[in-house]
Structure 1
Amino acid sequence: MQKTPLTILSLAAFLAACSGGSDVSVEAQQATTIPGYERYQTPENPAVLDSTGKVKEMATQVLGPNYGGLWVVHRDDATVRVEVGVAGNIEVARRSALSDQPGVDLVPVKYSHATLDTMMMNIMERFRPKEEGIGPTVYSAMASTKDAQISIWTKKENIEPVKAILAREGYDTSILKFELQDGPFTFAIALDTGAVWQKGEAGSSR
Protein backbone atom coordinates (compact mmCIF):
# COMPACT_ATOMS: atom_id res chain seq x y z
CA MET A 1 0.00 0.00 0.00
CA GLN A 2 1.37 3.39 -1.00
CA LYS A 3 0.37 6.65 0.62
CA THR A 4 0.57 9.96 -1.21
CA PRO A 5 0.26 12.97 1.15
CA LEU A 6 -1.88 15.55 -0.61
CA THR A 7 0.17 18.52 0.47
CA ILE A 8 3.71 17.50 -0.38
CA LEU A 9 3.91 19.56 -3.50
CA SER A 10 5.94 19.44 -6.67
CA LEU A 11 7.44 22.65 -8.05
CA ALA A 12 4.37 23.07 -10.25
CA ALA A 13 2.08 22.89 -7.25
CA PHE A 14 4.27 25.34 -5.37
CA LEU A 15 3.98 27.84 -8.18
CA ALA A 16 0.23 27.34 -8.26
CA ALA A 17 0.03 27.93 -4.53
CA CYS A 18 2.09 31.09 -4.82
CA SER A 19 -0.28 32.41 -7.47
CA GLY A 20 -3.22 31.87 -5.17
CA GLY A 21 -4.61 28.84 -7.04
CA SER A 22 -5.83 25.61 -5.50
CA ASP A 23 -3.23 22.85 -5.21
CA VAL A 24 -5.62 19.91 -4.72
CA SER A 25 -5.94 19.00 -8.41
CA VAL A 26 -2.17 19.04 -8.84
CA GLU A 27 -1.74 16.89 -5.75
CA ALA A 28 -4.22 14.35 -7.06
CA GLN A 29 -2.44 14.25 -10.42
CA GLN A 30 0.83 13.47 -8.64
CA ALA A 31 -0.66 10.12 -7.66
CA THR A 32 -0.36 9.09 -11.33
CA THR A 33 3.43 9.10 -11.02
CA ILE A 34 3.69 6.27 -8.49
CA PRO A 35 5.27 2.99 -9.72
CA GLY A 36 2.77 0.59 -11.28
CA TYR A 37 0.07 3.22 -11.52
CA GLU A 38 -1.46 1.50 -14.56
CA ARG A 39 -3.11 -1.12 -12.35
CA TYR A 40 -5.01 1.65 -10.58
CA GLN A 41 -6.61 2.89 -13.79
CA THR A 42 -10.02 1.42 -13.00
CA PRO A 43 -13.42 2.96 -13.76
CA GLU A 44 -13.95 3.85 -10.08
CA ASN A 45 -10.59 5.34 -9.06
CA PRO A 46 -10.62 8.56 -11.15
CA ALA A 47 -13.83 9.66 -9.44
CA VAL A 48 -12.22 9.12 -6.03
CA LEU A 49 -9.18 11.19 -7.00
CA ASP A 50 -11.35 13.91 -8.51
CA SER A 51 -13.27 14.18 -5.24
CA THR A 52 -10.26 15.14 -3.11
CA GLY A 53 -10.91 18.87 -3.31
CA LYS A 54 -14.54 18.46 -2.29
CA VAL A 55 -13.63 16.04 0.49
CA LYS A 56 -10.93 18.34 1.84
CA GLU A 57 -13.31 21.29 1.95
CA MET A 58 -16.02 19.19 3.59
CA ALA A 59 -13.61 17.66 6.12
CA THR A 60 -12.33 21.03 7.31
CA GLN A 61 -15.91 22.24 7.78
CA VAL A 62 -17.30 19.10 9.42
CA LEU A 63 -14.34 18.34 11.66
CA GLY A 64 -13.30 21.87 12.54
CA PRO A 65 -10.54 21.71 15.20
CA ASN A 66 -10.50 17.91 14.89
CA TYR A 67 -9.37 18.01 11.25
CA GLY A 68 -6.13 16.07 10.94
CA GLY A 69 -5.13 16.33 7.29
CA LEU A 70 -5.94 14.38 4.12
CA TRP A 71 -3.97 12.02 1.87
CA VAL A 72 -4.48 9.44 -0.89
CA VAL A 73 -3.90 5.71 -0.33
CA HIS A 74 -3.22 3.28 -3.18
CA ARG A 75 -4.16 -0.13 -1.85
CA ASP A 76 -2.76 -3.48 -2.87
CA ASP A 77 -6.15 -4.45 -4.31
CA ALA A 78 -5.78 -1.65 -6.91
CA THR A 79 -8.34 0.60 -5.25
CA VAL A 80 -7.71 4.22 -4.32
CA ARG A 81 -8.99 5.70 -1.07
CA VAL A 82 -8.94 9.18 0.42
CA GLU A 83 -8.00 9.09 4.09
CA VAL A 84 -8.98 11.93 6.41
CA GLY A 85 -7.17 12.27 9.73
CA VAL A 86 -9.30 12.81 12.82
CA ALA A 87 -7.77 14.08 16.07
CA GLY A 88 -9.71 13.24 19.22
CA ASN A 89 -13.28 12.01 19.46
CA ILE A 90 -16.11 13.25 17.23
CA GLU A 91 -19.85 12.66 17.23
CA VAL A 92 -21.33 9.82 15.17
CA ALA A 93 -23.18 12.30 12.96
CA ARG A 94 -19.98 14.13 11.99
CA ARG A 95 -18.16 10.86 11.44
CA SER A 96 -20.92 9.52 9.22
CA ALA A 97 -21.09 12.70 7.16
CA LEU A 98 -17.55 12.02 5.96
CA SER A 99 -17.28 8.23 6.05
CA ASP A 100 -20.42 7.92 3.92
CA GLN A 101 -18.67 9.75 1.08
CA PRO A 102 -17.52 7.37 -1.69
CA GLY A 103 -13.88 6.33 -1.31
CA VAL A 104 -13.36 8.10 2.02
CA ASP A 105 -11.93 6.54 5.19
CA LEU A 106 -11.43 8.24 8.56
CA VAL A 107 -8.24 7.44 10.46
CA PRO A 108 -7.17 8.58 13.94
CA VAL A 109 -4.18 10.92 14.22
CA LYS A 110 -2.34 12.10 17.31
CA TYR A 111 -2.55 15.82 16.60
CA SER A 112 -4.86 17.99 14.55
CA HIS A 113 -3.75 19.96 11.51
CA ALA A 114 -4.05 23.21 13.46
CA THR A 115 -2.14 21.94 16.50
CA LEU A 116 0.81 20.65 14.47
CA ASP A 117 0.86 23.78 12.35
CA THR A 118 0.93 25.98 15.47
CA MET A 119 3.73 23.93 17.04
CA MET A 120 5.76 24.10 13.85
CA MET A 121 5.39 27.86 13.51
CA ASN A 122 6.17 28.41 17.21
CA ILE A 123 9.34 26.35 16.89
CA MET A 124 10.38 28.35 13.84
CA GLU A 125 9.79 31.61 15.71
CA ARG A 126 11.48 30.35 18.90
CA PHE A 127 14.67 29.45 17.04
CA ARG A 128 14.62 32.04 14.30
CA PRO A 129 18.20 32.58 13.03
CA LYS A 130 19.84 35.42 14.92
CA GLU A 131 23.36 36.74 14.89
CA GLU A 132 25.92 33.97 14.52
CA GLY A 133 26.70 32.37 17.84
CA ILE A 134 23.64 33.69 19.71
CA GLY A 135 21.72 30.58 20.70
CA PRO A 136 20.82 27.52 18.60
CA THR A 137 18.89 28.21 15.42
CA VAL A 138 16.49 26.26 13.20
CA TYR A 139 16.60 26.90 9.47
CA SER A 140 13.33 25.27 8.45
CA ALA A 141 10.58 22.94 9.64
CA MET A 142 7.87 20.77 8.13
CA ALA A 143 4.79 19.30 9.80
CA SER A 144 3.11 16.06 8.72
CA THR A 145 -0.31 15.31 10.20
CA LYS A 146 -0.34 11.80 8.74
CA ASP A 147 2.87 10.88 10.54
CA ALA A 148 2.24 13.13 13.58
CA GLN A 149 5.72 14.48 13.04
CA ILE A 150 7.57 17.76 12.81
CA SER A 151 10.81 17.66 10.84
CA ILE A 152 13.39 20.27 11.84
CA TRP A 153 16.43 21.26 9.77
CA THR A 154 19.39 22.60 11.70
CA LYS A 155 23.11 22.17 12.22
CA LYS A 156 24.34 19.02 13.95
CA GLU A 157 25.56 20.90 17.01
CA ASN A 158 22.13 22.48 17.48
CA ILE A 159 20.09 19.28 17.64
CA GLU A 160 20.53 18.41 21.32
CA PRO A 161 20.23 22.02 22.58
CA VAL A 162 17.06 22.57 20.56
CA LYS A 163 15.61 19.26 21.74
CA ALA A 164 16.42 20.05 25.38
CA ILE A 165 14.85 23.53 25.20
CA LEU A 166 11.68 22.20 23.58
CA ALA A 167 11.42 19.45 26.19
CA ARG A 168 11.68 22.01 28.99
CA GLU A 169 8.99 24.10 27.33
CA GLY A 170 6.57 21.16 27.23
CA TYR A 171 6.81 19.99 23.64
CA ASP A 172 6.25 16.34 22.77
CA THR A 173 9.79 15.55 21.64
CA SER A 174 8.72 12.10 20.38
CA ILE A 175 7.23 13.77 17.30
CA LEU A 176 10.38 15.71 16.43
CA LYS A 177 12.64 14.49 13.62
CA PHE A 178 15.91 16.35 13.11
CA GLU A 179 17.62 16.72 9.73
CA LEU A 180 21.09 18.12 9.15
CA GLN A 181 21.45 21.39 7.28
CA ASP A 182 24.57 23.54 7.08
CA GLY A 183 22.86 26.86 6.40
CA PRO A 184 19.69 28.61 5.20
CA PHE A 185 18.39 28.41 1.65
CA THR A 186 16.55 30.81 -0.62
CA PHE A 187 13.44 28.95 -1.77
CA ALA A 188 10.21 28.09 -0.01
CA ILE A 189 7.76 25.23 -0.64
CA ALA A 190 4.30 24.41 0.66
CA LEU A 191 4.13 22.02 3.57
CA ASP A 192 2.08 19.06 4.58
CA THR A 193 -0.05 21.34 6.72
CA GLY A 194 -0.37 24.20 4.27
CA ALA A 195 2.27 26.39 5.92
CA VAL A 196 5.39 27.52 4.09
CA TRP A 197 9.06 27.02 4.82
CA GLN A 198 10.82 30.15 5.94
CA LYS A 199 12.98 31.90 3.39
CA GLY A 200 16.66 32.53 3.99
CA GLU A 201 20.01 33.10 2.37
CA ALA A 202 21.64 30.57 0.09
CA GLY A 203 23.32 27.67 1.81
CA SER A 204 23.71 23.90 1.62
CA SER A 205 21.81 21.05 3.20
CA ARG A 206 22.48 17.36 3.62
Structure 2
Amino acid sequence: MWLLCPPGVYRPQDDTLLLEDALKRERLADDVDVLDLGTGTGALALAAAERAAQVTAVDASVRAVCTTWLNARLHGLRVRVLRGDLTTPVTGSRFGLIMANPPYVPSPRAELPARGRARAWDAGSDGRALLDRVCSDAPPLLSPGGVLLLVHSGLCGAESTLGRLRRAGLRAAVTERRYVPFGPVLRDRSAWLEARGLIAPGEEKEELVVIRAERDR
Protein backbone atom coordinates (compact mmCIF):
# COMPACT_ATOMS: atom_id res chain seq x y z
CA MET A 1 0.00 0.00 0.00
CA TRP A 2 1.41 3.38 -1.02
CA LEU A 3 1.67 5.81 1.90
CA LEU A 4 2.62 9.40 2.46
CA CYS A 5 5.68 9.60 4.71
CA PRO A 6 6.89 13.15 5.31
CA PRO A 7 10.18 13.93 7.09
CA GLY A 8 9.99 13.30 10.82
CA VAL A 9 7.49 10.42 10.59
CA TYR A 10 8.70 6.85 11.12
CA ARG A 11 8.83 5.12 7.75
CA PRO A 12 7.49 1.52 7.65
CA GLN A 13 10.43 -0.86 8.00
CA ASP A 14 11.14 -4.51 8.80
CA ASP A 15 9.44 -4.31 12.20
CA THR A 16 6.31 -2.82 10.59
CA LEU A 17 6.19 -5.57 7.98
CA LEU A 18 6.75 -8.25 10.59
CA LEU A 19 3.86 -6.96 12.68
CA GLU A 20 1.67 -6.67 9.58
CA ASP A 21 2.35 -10.35 8.83
CA ALA A 22 1.23 -11.19 12.37
CA LEU A 23 -1.91 -9.09 11.85
CA LYS A 24 -2.74 -11.03 8.68
CA ARG A 25 -2.66 -14.29 10.64
CA GLU A 26 -5.24 -13.06 13.16
CA ARG A 27 -8.87 -14.04 12.66
CA LEU A 28 -10.80 -10.83 13.25
CA ALA A 29 -14.47 -10.85 14.17
CA ASP A 30 -16.73 -8.58 12.11
CA ASP A 31 -17.32 -6.29 15.09
CA VAL A 32 -13.76 -6.14 16.43
CA ASP A 33 -12.29 -2.82 17.58
CA VAL A 34 -8.57 -2.41 16.89
CA LEU A 35 -6.06 -0.08 18.54
CA ASP A 36 -2.74 0.83 16.92
CA LEU A 37 -0.25 2.39 19.36
CA GLY A 38 2.52 4.52 17.89
CA THR A 39 0.92 4.51 14.47
CA GLY A 40 3.51 6.55 12.54
CA THR A 41 2.31 6.67 8.93
CA GLY A 42 -0.73 4.58 9.85
CA ALA A 43 0.51 1.57 7.88
CA LEU A 44 -0.76 -0.98 10.39
CA ALA A 45 -3.94 0.93 11.19
CA LEU A 46 -4.84 1.02 7.50
CA ALA A 47 -4.09 -2.68 7.08
CA ALA A 48 -6.43 -3.39 10.00
CA ALA A 49 -9.10 -1.02 8.66
CA GLU A 50 -9.47 -3.21 5.58
CA ARG A 51 -10.81 -5.98 7.86
CA ALA A 52 -11.98 -4.47 11.14
CA ALA A 53 -15.18 -2.68 12.16
CA GLN A 54 -13.38 0.17 13.89
CA VAL A 55 -9.73 1.17 14.11
CA THR A 56 -8.22 3.75 16.45
CA ALA A 57 -4.68 4.98 15.83
CA VAL A 58 -2.67 6.87 18.46
CA ASP A 59 0.62 8.72 18.23
CA ALA A 60 2.34 11.41 20.29
CA SER A 61 3.60 13.16 17.15
CA VAL A 62 1.45 15.81 15.49
CA ARG A 63 3.08 14.97 12.15
CA ALA A 64 2.29 11.29 12.54
CA VAL A 65 -1.34 12.00 13.46
CA CYS A 66 -1.78 14.25 10.42
CA THR A 67 -0.03 11.73 8.16
CA THR A 68 -2.21 8.84 9.30
CA TRP A 69 -5.35 10.97 8.86
CA LEU A 70 -4.32 11.85 5.29
CA ASN A 71 -3.30 8.30 4.38
CA ALA A 72 -6.60 6.92 5.63
CA ARG A 73 -8.55 9.35 3.50
CA LEU A 74 -6.39 8.83 0.43
CA HIS A 75 -7.22 5.12 0.64
CA GLY A 76 -10.87 5.60 1.57
CA LEU A 77 -10.49 3.84 4.93
CA ARG A 78 -12.11 4.78 8.23
CA VAL A 79 -9.57 5.30 11.02
CA ARG A 80 -10.08 7.35 14.17
CA VAL A 81 -6.77 9.14 14.77
CA LEU A 82 -5.88 10.53 18.19
CA ARG A 83 -2.85 12.38 19.47
CA GLY A 84 -1.55 11.41 22.88
CA ASP A 85 0.86 9.50 25.06
CA LEU A 86 0.43 5.78 24.32
CA THR A 87 -2.88 4.60 25.83
CA THR A 88 -3.83 7.89 27.52
CA PRO A 89 -6.32 9.00 24.82
CA VAL A 90 -8.25 5.70 25.06
CA THR A 91 -8.32 5.18 28.83
CA GLY A 92 -11.40 3.18 29.80
CA SER A 93 -11.98 1.77 26.30
CA ARG A 94 -11.79 -1.91 25.33
CA PHE A 95 -10.34 -3.47 22.20
CA GLY A 96 -10.33 -6.91 20.66
CA LEU A 97 -6.89 -6.34 19.14
CA ILE A 98 -4.08 -4.00 20.12
CA MET A 99 -0.97 -3.57 17.96
CA ALA A 100 2.16 -1.80 19.16
CA ASN A 101 5.45 -0.94 17.50
CA PRO A 102 6.84 1.48 20.09
CA PRO A 103 10.33 3.03 20.13
CA TYR A 104 12.69 0.36 21.45
CA VAL A 105 16.27 1.19 20.43
CA PRO A 106 18.72 1.34 23.36
CA SER A 107 20.29 4.78 23.55
CA PRO A 108 23.40 6.23 25.22
CA ARG A 109 21.02 8.88 26.60
CA ALA A 110 18.84 7.62 29.41
CA GLU A 111 16.20 10.32 28.93
CA LEU A 112 13.68 10.11 26.10
CA PRO A 113 14.00 12.73 23.36
CA ALA A 114 11.29 15.38 23.56
CA ARG A 115 11.42 16.13 19.85
CA GLY A 116 13.26 15.32 16.64
CA ARG A 117 13.57 12.17 14.54
CA ALA A 118 15.11 10.11 17.36
CA ARG A 119 11.79 10.31 19.20
CA ALA A 120 10.56 7.56 16.85
CA TRP A 121 13.16 5.01 17.99
CA ASP A 122 15.15 6.02 21.10
CA ALA A 123 13.81 4.35 24.27
CA GLY A 124 16.28 4.85 27.09
CA SER A 125 19.48 3.05 28.00
CA ASP A 126 17.90 -0.43 27.85
CA GLY A 127 15.33 0.27 25.14
CA ARG A 128 12.42 -0.56 27.46
CA ALA A 129 11.12 2.86 28.50
CA LEU A 130 8.06 2.56 26.25
CA LEU A 131 7.91 -1.24 26.09
CA ASP A 132 7.38 -1.55 29.83
CA ARG A 133 4.56 0.96 29.66
CA VAL A 134 2.87 -0.98 26.86
CA CYS A 135 3.18 -4.15 28.95
CA SER A 136 1.44 -2.49 31.90
CA ASP A 137 -1.04 -0.17 30.15
CA ALA A 138 -2.27 -2.27 27.22
CA PRO A 139 -3.58 -5.42 29.02
CA PRO A 140 -6.38 -3.58 30.91
CA LEU A 141 -7.68 -2.34 27.55
CA LEU A 142 -8.15 -5.82 26.10
CA SER A 143 -11.62 -7.30 25.88
CA PRO A 144 -12.06 -10.94 26.99
CA GLY A 145 -10.34 -13.03 24.34
CA GLY A 146 -8.52 -9.91 23.09
CA VAL A 147 -5.01 -10.07 21.64
CA LEU A 148 -1.96 -7.83 21.93
CA LEU A 149 0.58 -7.98 19.09
CA LEU A 150 3.89 -6.33 20.01
CA VAL A 151 7.11 -6.11 18.02
CA HIS A 152 10.52 -5.10 19.30
CA SER A 153 14.23 -5.81 19.12
CA GLY A 154 15.79 -8.80 20.80
CA LEU A 155 18.25 -6.31 22.27
CA CYS A 156 15.52 -5.28 24.73
CA GLY A 157 14.93 -8.76 26.12
CA ALA A 158 11.95 -10.76 24.91
CA GLU A 159 11.85 -12.72 28.17
CA SER A 160 11.32 -9.53 30.15
CA THR A 161 8.36 -8.64 27.94
CA LEU A 162 6.88 -12.12 28.25
CA GLY A 163 7.23 -12.04 32.02
CA ARG A 164 5.52 -8.67 32.34
CA LEU A 165 2.62 -9.67 30.11
CA ARG A 166 2.13 -12.97 31.93
CA ARG A 167 2.09 -11.19 35.27
CA ALA A 168 -0.61 -8.96 33.81
CA GLY A 169 -2.75 -12.06 33.30
CA LEU A 170 -2.13 -12.70 29.60
CA ARG A 171 -0.99 -15.86 27.82
CA ALA A 172 2.10 -14.63 25.98
CA ALA A 173 4.56 -16.20 23.56
CA VAL A 174 7.04 -15.21 20.88
CA THR A 175 5.39 -16.10 17.59
CA GLU A 176 8.10 -14.98 15.20
CA ARG A 177 11.78 -14.15 15.17
CA ARG A 178 13.59 -12.58 12.25
CA TYR A 179 17.14 -11.34 11.78
CA VAL A 180 17.65 -8.17 9.76
CA PRO A 181 20.81 -6.17 8.95
CA PHE A 182 21.54 -3.25 11.24
CA GLY A 183 20.04 0.00 10.06
CA PRO A 184 21.87 3.35 10.26
CA VAL A 185 21.03 3.94 13.94
CA LEU A 186 22.34 0.59 15.21
CA ARG A 187 25.39 0.80 12.95
CA ASP A 188 26.26 4.16 14.45
CA ARG A 189 25.83 2.73 17.97
CA SER A 190 27.50 -0.62 17.42
CA ALA A 191 30.59 0.27 19.47
CA TRP A 192 28.42 1.44 22.38
CA LEU A 193 26.15 -1.61 22.12
CA GLU A 194 29.21 -3.89 22.09
CA ALA A 195 30.66 -2.13 25.14
CA ARG A 196 27.34 -2.65 26.94
CA GLY A 197 27.43 -6.36 26.06
CA LEU A 198 24.22 -6.08 24.03
CA ILE A 199 25.85 -7.35 20.83
CA ALA A 200 28.83 -9.56 20.06
CA PRO A 201 31.98 -8.10 18.51
CA GLY A 202 31.43 -7.60 14.80
CA GLU A 203 27.70 -8.40 15.00
CA GLU A 204 25.78 -6.80 12.13
CA LYS A 205 22.25 -8.23 12.42
CA GLU A 206 19.40 -7.42 14.77
CA GLU A 207 16.84 -9.94 15.96
CA LEU A 208 13.24 -8.74 15.77
CA VAL A 209 10.55 -10.57 17.74
CA VAL A 210 6.77 -10.53 17.57
CA ILE A 211 5.03 -11.29 20.85
CA ARG A 212 1.38 -12.37 20.89
CA ALA A 213 -0.44 -12.07 24.21
CA GLU A 214 -4.06 -13.10 24.71
CA ARG A 215 -6.54 -12.43 27.49
CA ASP A 216 -8.70 -15.37 28.54
CA ARG A 217 -12.37 -15.21 27.61
Q: Which TM bucket (shorter chain)?
A: under 0.3
- Computing the radius of gyration over CA atoms, which structure comes out larger, 1 or 2? 1
What TM-score do you get using the length of structure 1 for normalisation? 0.26
Specify which structure has the higher proportion of helix.
Answer: 1
What TM-score do you get using the length of structure 2 for normalisation? 0.26
